[in-house]
Every structure is written in C-alpha cells, then in structure tokens.
Amino acid sequence: MLGFLTRPLHRLLSLLCPGLRIPRLSVLCAQPRPRAMAISSSSCKLPLVAVCQVTSTPDKQQNFKTCAELVREAARLGACLAFLPEAFDFIARDPAETLRLSEPLGGKLLEEYTQLARECGLWLSLGGFHERGRDWEQTQKIYNCHVLLNSKGAVVATYRKTHLCDVEIPGQGPMCESNSTMPGPSLESPVSTPAGKIGLAVCYDMRFPELSLALAQAGAEILTYPSAFGSVTGPAHWEPVSS
C-alpha cells in the first residue's frame, strides 16, 4: 500500500505504521506526471512524501521486490522521499532465524536498496534494518537500525533504536526484543532532506517523549517512527500515543 503526504512540514509530525489508515492522495500533487515536473511544478510547492506499507515475511528477496515496486511507483508519481516501515527487510519466525537472516550495512541487501535509490532518484528511509554491527562477533546480537539514503544511494544517517520493546503480551507471553537486539548508543542529529529536516526514531521509541523533545530542540521538522506493531501492541502503544 502506498500513501502520500503533502501537508506543511510543521504539521507533519509522525509517520504511519502498518495497519493504520493512509491519508488520501492529493489530487493536485499525486496525480501521475513526469517526475521533474512534479518536483518543480509551481502548482505543487509542497514536497511529496510517500509512506509505503508492507507485510514482511522471512523471504528477503520477495520483500525487496514488494518494496521496490512501491518505491518505483512513488518515484513515478513525483515523490522526493519514500518511507519504508520497521522490519522492511524481513520478519522472521523466531529469534534464531532473525539472527541468521541479519546482515551488516555493507551486505548484499542494503546494496540493492542503494541501487534502488539511485535508479529512482529519490531519498529512502529504511525504517528498521536488522543490522549485524561491528560487535556482532562478540555479542551475537543485532541492532534495529533506521537507515537514511539520499537520492544517490549514499548512507547519510543511521540511528540504532535505543528503546527496546520488552513487554508481556496477554495471552501470548513475553516479547523480549533485547534477547536478540542491542540498544543503540545515541541519538542521530536531524538530517536535512528535500522534504525537510528529519529526526530518526523507531517504533517503541515513541513511548519516550524525551527523545522527541531532543530531536525537536535540535531542529527536526519531521519526527519519524517507522513501526511493526502487532495486533496487540499496536492498539496498546501506537494508537493511544499518536492520537
């Protein structure tokens, strides 16, 4: 599913997570037309941003194919930046499979996304990449890494999720992200993009207002919370906080 946001930057406070309603497409700014015309047209002065929703599986190549189709459609409609959700790369069946499927930032999968950004000529927010960090050999744990690529495919920012989701889910037992994931060490300074200055966060971070305040005070115009909440955690966390 592909949605477009064309609201003024000071009103664009957060992005959507899977399962939530997508704003209607703007008839003025989202109708098909050549990209250059869509970006520079005087009839559409606000930047066009695409929010892509996918249901990830353990099949990384199939997930990439799905994401690539949405990103190419966003580029065709004139978006300058496309957002993909947390766990856009895959969602495994168990923690052991998560660790096995994870890759470093310099791996094959991220290279495919850098090529996609170059091909489409737009920025990509990769909302939650299962990253094998430099300490992988010592920890055997990964990072939940929000990666921002520019339109040339270069990595311009990485933020590793600091607040891990360790919760008891009624009827399902514990969900402990920290069993397989390391918390990130720090925040990332807001990044200037064609859509505005973006502050990077991930999913459960939204429960901690200090992070949002720090990013806003550092100049962020858009706060991003790419998420992969489930049927229980979504209503419990995303809906009350974002409403």
Domain ranges of the chain: 49-242
Q: Are the CB atoms for 224 and 127 separated by under 8 Å?
A: yes
| pLDDT at site 47 | 92
pLDDT band at 63, cuts 50/70/90?
very high
pLDDT tier at 234 (50, 70, 90 boundaries)?
Answer: low
Q: CA 234 to CA 228: how far, in whole Å?
A: 8
pTM of the model: 0.81
Task: Compute the distance between CA of residue 212 and CA of residue 218 in angstroms, rounded to an integer.
Answer: 10
What CATH class is the domain 49-242?
alpha beta
Instruction: Of 132, 156, 152, give the one whose Cα is nearest residue 142.
Output: 132
Greatest Cα pair distance, the chain, in angstroms, is: 55
Q: Catalytic amino acids?
A: 86, 161, 203
CA gap 183, 163 in Å, rounded:
7
pLDDT of 238 reads 63
Q: What token pair was written down for 12?
A: 């664009």
Q: Mean pLDDT of all residues in the chain?
A: 82
Q: Is the pLDDT of residue 18 over 80?
A: no
pLDDT tens digit sequence for 92-141: 999 999 999 999 999 999 999 999 999 999 999 999 999 999 999 999 99
- Rg (the chain; Cα; Å): 17
Give mean pLDDT, residues 167-175. 75
pLDDT of residue 228: 87
Closest CA to 165 of 144, 185, 148: 144
Mean pLDDT of the region 55-82: 97
**Across 14-18, 59-63, 118-122, 221-225, least confident range:** 14-18
pLDDT of residue 106: 96
